[in-house]
Homo-oligomer: A and B are copies of this chain.
Amino acid sequence: MIELGPNRYGKAAIRLVKIVREPDRNRIRDLTVAIALEGDFAAAHTEGDNANLVATDTMKNTVYAFAQEHLSGPVEAYATVLARHFAAMPQVARATVSIREHRWAPIPTDAGPSPDAFLRTGDFTRTTSVTATDDGGLEVDAGVEDLTVMKTARSAFRGFPRDALTTLPETDDRIMATKVTATWHYGPTDLDWDAVHDGILGTMLDVLAEHASLSVQHSIWIVGRAMLERHAALAEVRMVLPNLHHWLVDLSPFGMDNPGTIFTATTEPHGLIEATVRRSADR
């Protein structure tokens, strides 16, 4: 006997730009939105019966139409309205709305920040993911991605096991570089989202900068724990950190020292470290 297992579907990579036209300046909201639905879609698969199958084109239309009224504040609020809209459909059990927000800053001019010309900042992308369920449940995650950091001191890696295939020397002083993907889960589902996000990100960056790292795993724990300690709204923090190795270049063939100065940056291969730090009371 063959059966349908877990399934979901939706629209991805919906590119939405909203220009908020205020009296003396504009603001840009620049989002990439994805919708995913789970629910009663078995007949669509096994019978080709599309009666329950909301077109992904309709999802796209909904994203644009709702932006007019509902994208006036934080992305978490907009995602919540969208997720609840889809979860209210009788055939839908869970609706997840995932948003990446691309950041723009006014161009600095001789006359001050431009009211209507902007520069994409490129330092990181803010993310959120909101899931609404047919029983009224709501789960709100947020985070950042594409945030690349480098620690040029206070990073060590030693004391690891050595076997016949181990050649890596121990070091008290290495470069640690990574492109952070961090996702956190909020306890409450109604917060001052922008302020909370700013605060959490501030803590993350502050501790990333300040701590002494004994491994990438150690860094995730220290940073994640601090985020949870300082921000009561957080239930859980998850980080996925590639270890983007910077190897000291051997300049000795040229009669030169290289005391932690000249490195080659690599992306292949890379370490990949993933961990969740959470409140134990949640479990």
A interface residues with partner B (beta carbon < 8 Å)? 1-21, 26, 28, 30, 34, 36, 41, 44-46, 48-58, 60-62, 64-65, 67-68, 104, 107-111, 114-124, 146-154, 157-161, 163-168, 175, 205-206, 208-210, 214-218, 220-221, 225, 228-229, 236, 238, 242-243, 246, 249, 251, 253-254, 256, 258, 260-281, 283
Question: How far apart are A176's CB and chain B's nearest CB, in angstroms?
Answer: 9
Report yes or no: B279 in contact with A7, Cβ–Cβ below 8 A.
no
20 CB-based A-B contacts, threshold 8 Å = A1-B281, A7-B276, A9-B271, A13-B268, A15-B264, A16-B263, A18-B262, A20-B261, A21-B152, A21-B260, A28-B150, A30-B265, A44-B215, A50-B157, A57-B166, A64-B262, A117-B150, A120-B148, A120-B149, A122-B124
Classify the interface of chain A: helix, strand, loop or mixed.
mixed
Also in contact, A65 and B217, with CB within 8 A (given A16-B264, A121-B123, A150-B118)? no
Whether B15 and A265, one on each chain, are in contact in the complex, defined by CB atoms closer than 8 angstroms, is yes
Enumerate chain B residues within 8 angstroms of A175, measured Cβ to Cβ.
17, 19
Q: Say yes or no: A263 contacts B18, CB within 8 Å.
A: yes
A3 touching B148, Cβ below 8 Å: no
> Would A65 and B251 be within 8 Å (CB), given that A266-B268, A274-B9 are in contact?
yes
Contact partner of A58 (CB less than 8 A), chosen from B118, B168, B263, B264, is: B168
Q: Which chain B residue has the least Cβ–Cβ distance from A27?
A: B152
Return the 3 tightest CB-CB contacts between A and B, nearest first. Answer: A122-B122, A5-B276, A48-B214
Contact between A49 and B122, CB atoms less than 8 A apart: no
Please pick, from B12, B17, B157, the residue contacting A263 in the complex, using a CB distance under 8 A.
B17
Q: Check B19 against A275 for contact (C-beta < 8 Å).
A: no
Given the interface pairs A123-B121, A209-B107, the reply to whether A18 lies near B261 with Cβ below 8 Å is: yes
Q: Tell me whether B30 and A158 are in contact (CB under 8 A).
A: no
Q: Which residue of B lies closest to A160 (CB)?
A: B50
Known: A10-B271, A51-B159, A57-B166. 8 other contacts (CB 8 A): A5-B277, A12-B269, A44-B217, A50-B161, A55-B161, A68-B256, A68-B258, A117-B150
Asked whether A121 lies within 8 Å of B122 as measured between CB atoms, the reply is yes
Partner of A122, one of B28, B123, B249: B123
Quick check: A272 and B9 within 8 Å, CB to CB? yes
Contact B109 A205 (CB under 8 A): yes
Known: A109-B206, A119-B149, A215-B48. A263 touches B19 (CB 8 A): yes
